[in-house]
Amino acid sequence: MTRSFIPPVRTLMGPGPSDVNPRILEALSRPTVGHLDSAFVGLMDEIKQLLQFAFKTNNALTMPISAPGSAGMESCFVNLLEPGDKVIVCQNGVFGGRMKENVERCGATAVMVQDDWGKPVDVQKVEEALKANPDAKVLAFVHAETSTGVRSDAKTLCALAKQHDCLTIVDTVTSLGGIELDIDGWGADAVYSGSQKCLSCVPGISPVTFSEKAVEVIKNRTHKVQSWFLDMDLVMGYWGGGVKRAYHHTAPVNALYALHESLVILEEEGLQNAWDRHALNHKALVAGLEAMGLSLPVDPKYRLPQLNLVTIPEGVDDAKVRGLLMEKYSLEIGAGLGALAGKAWRIGLMGFGANQKNVLFCLGALEAVLLEVGADIQAGAAVKAANTIYG
């Protein structure tokens, strides 16, 4: 007889999912109601308002897509693009490459602006690309590149796009709740995020928001959106229909209880406090890593507090270290992706997991494992250095 699945208890300090707040797990286990129940409709309205708060936007079309961040990404591309359109896509890591895939699958053309992995999107290059392609409809970029731990200048990129009469698609999957995000202040047009990074919610939900201008473009499409499920016009019949909500798909009712709880927690803390907490814990983690003799390759000006890229010391076996962290301490850190595979680790400090306990635990465990594999590091200094930051 197959038995119930009882997952091990881990500490998740990779690129996501992050440690889920127990309050959110508790919310998830509340009784399921119908997806058209009047009590549920009230919850949906609150989720929309809470997402407007989290994104800092008044956009009426702000809601969660019933699928992971990748579906939020796809919803932005399939709704704004039509065959023959041209999009300037910035790539400085894994996720810019997925944007290109999305553009091409819409029958549109991607003009790539490439930057090295570990560097932010080069504003100068984007300006040149906008000048060279006056017919571009959309500028697409990733605000917080989770594959490298780099923040790009979303405010400047959105302003540039506006000057050139271009819409923007912005990936904020890893930024929402972790670093400053100001959708209306930036004037971003189509923005998607994820539940399992700095919101510390369970995976599988993707908050999105569309500006009035983006909604206008969607309303005036000449081709039907090729995805029935992600067609915002149809989805809005359910999410935007007020009391006259019509069935489109069955909302993931319990996952939305969880999302609601994660946003209530964010509202209780306050956006600025949440951003400051991520920054403080990042500072302590970096102090500890550097005291140990490890280095972070990303320029401090562009570092994401919630995703720390750490150079693997010469001669140290990447997989062995991560394996020992998991086996001995049930601690998950992220491997390097693409060009950074085997060369760097990614240590996440996301949402609920961005706290002193996790920082000190991670430093202590990493130090013990590195000493075990014979790495040439400074012993006994990391936790002390991190604690200096906490004061």
Q: Which stretch binds ligand PLP (CB under 6 A): 31-39, 64-72, 324-332, 382-390?
A: 64-72
Task: Report the SS3 class of residue 358.
Answer: helix
**Under rule CB under 6 A, residue 170 binds ligand PLP:** no
18 is a site residue for ligand PLP (CB under 6 A): no
The sign of the dihedral angle between the CA atoms of 109, 152, 188, 128 is negative
Decide: 115 and 92 in contact? Cβ < 8 Å.
yes
Could you tell me which of 340, 349, 352, 334 has the C-alpha nearest to residue 386?
349
**How many secondary structure helices (H) and strands (E) does the chain include?**
14, 13
Q: What is the DSSP letter of 244?
A: G
- Quote the least distance from Cβ 74 to ligand PLP, whole Å: 9
CA distance 75 to 205: 13
Identify which range of 37-45, 84-92, 170-178, 237-245 contacts ligand PLP by CB under 6 A: 170-178
Please give the angle made by the CA atoms of 249, 251 and 255, to the nearest 5 degrees. 155
CA 84/CA 19 separation, integer angstroms: 42
351 binds ligand PLP (CB under 6 A): no
Nearer to ligand PLP, 69 or 353 (CB): 69
Task: Give the count of residues interacting with ligand PLP (CB under 6 A).
Answer: 13
Per CB under 6 A, which of residues 74..113 are in contact with ligand PLP?
95
Q: Between residues 16 and 336, which has the closer beta carbon with respect to ligand PLP?
A: 16
DSSP 325: H
195 vs 211 by CB, closer to ligand PLP: 195
Can you tell me which of 11, 79, 102, 146 binds ligand PLP, judged by CB under 6 A? 146
Cα three-residue angle 362-367-373, rounded to 5 degrees:
125
Q: Does 64 bind ligand PLP (CB under 6 A)?
A: no
Which positions from 172 through 211 interact with ligand PLP, judged by CB under 6 A?
A: 173-174, 194, 203
Closer to ligand PLP by CB, 63 or 142: give it.
142
Report the interface residues with ligand PLP, using CB under 6 A: 16, 68-70, 73, 95, 142, 146, 171, 173-174, 194, 203
